[in-house]
Amino acid sequence: MRIILMLLQASAFQEDIYMWVRDHRVHHKYTDTDADPYNARRGFFFSHIGWLMVRKHPDVISKGATINMSDVEQDPLVVFQRKWYPYLMALCCFIVPILVPMWAWDESLWYAWHMAVARYGINLNLTWSVNSVAHIWGVKPYDKNILFSYRSITPTDNVGVSFITFGEGWHNYHHVFPWDYKGAEFGNYFNITTAVIDFFAYLGLAYDLKTASADIVKKRALRSSEMSY
């Protein structure tokens, strides 16, 4: 199961697991500050793709160096992928997706290549929409504040983003309860990702799944939601 997930992560071509985890942890710890790699306060374009086009803010680098990555550094699969990432990425993101249609239904190299590139581009923009769209438009049913009471939290719950990303758009919930494997209060509502995890849990391949209890979610929402209950 972990090997499959490692290869699927390589197929996304969004940096190796180590770098992705580090940036994600920094994003959660310093959300919407200069230390956040995808700081939505710098505008839609920056949080969507602009952060990849400029040098990282010094705070991103300095705060990123303080993140505890010992668990990831000790994972043999992560170490393996990081070492061989360029080859695994090329194989999983482009070579296999091109060769499969050429072999299965005699697709031409020209069309197979362009479909692989199109898939990659679409996948990138869907992923980026979580950092941009779901940090600007949507509702905040669980917490309108984060870290400091005077600073408004930008992550929102966005139905549209959840639909196109198979459940990754319930971002207000995710930032309030980042350890909940569902990434949402309701795992069966526009959340195919949770359904996949539940399926593998049924097979015994995914286990020790953590989730927030209904009581904890209710208390947090009553205390800090922007909505009336």
Q: Does a structural domain hold residue 34?
A: yes
Q: Which residues does 154 contact at the CB level (< 8 Å), separation at least 6? A: 31, 32, 40, 41, 135, 136
* 126 occurs within a structural domain: no
Domain count, the chain: 2
* HSE value, Cβ hemisphere, 13 Å, CA-based, for 202: 6
Smallest Cα–Cα separation from 10: which of 79, 72, 91, 77? 91
Instruction: Identify whether 123 is part of a domain.
Output: no
pLDDT at 191: 87
Interval 21-32 mean pLDDT? 94
- Confirm whether 120 is domain-assigned: no
99 occurs within a structural domain = yes
- 175 belongs to a structural domain: yes
Q: What angle do CA 57, 146, 135 make, to 5 degrees?
A: 65
97 and 186 together in one domain: no
Shared domain for 103 and 158, answered yes or no, is no
- The reply to whether 128 falls in a domain is no
Q: Give residue 146's pLDDT band: very low, low, confident or very high (50, 70, 90).
A: low
Do 103 and 18 reside in the same domain of the chain? yes
C-alpha distances out from residue 135 to 9, 30, 50, 157, 196, Å: 23, 14, 15, 9, 25
| Rg (the chain; Cα; Å) | 19
Residues of the chain above pLDDT 90, percent: 84
- Model confidence at 149, in pLDDT bands (50, 70, 90)? very low
Q: Which tokens hold the place of 114?
A: 């362009």
Q: Do 157 and 85 fall into the same domain?
A: no
pLDDT digits (tens, 9 = 90+) for 165-190: 999 999 999 999 999 999 998 866 67
Instruction: For residues 161 and 138, give the distance between their C-alpha atoms in angstroms, rounded to a whole number.
Output: 10
Q: Print the domain residue range for 203.
A: 137-228
Are 78 and 169 within one domain?
A: no
Q: Lowest-confidence range among 89-93, 132-136, 150-154? A: 150-154
Asked whether the predicted pLDDT for residue 134 surpasses 90, the reply is yes
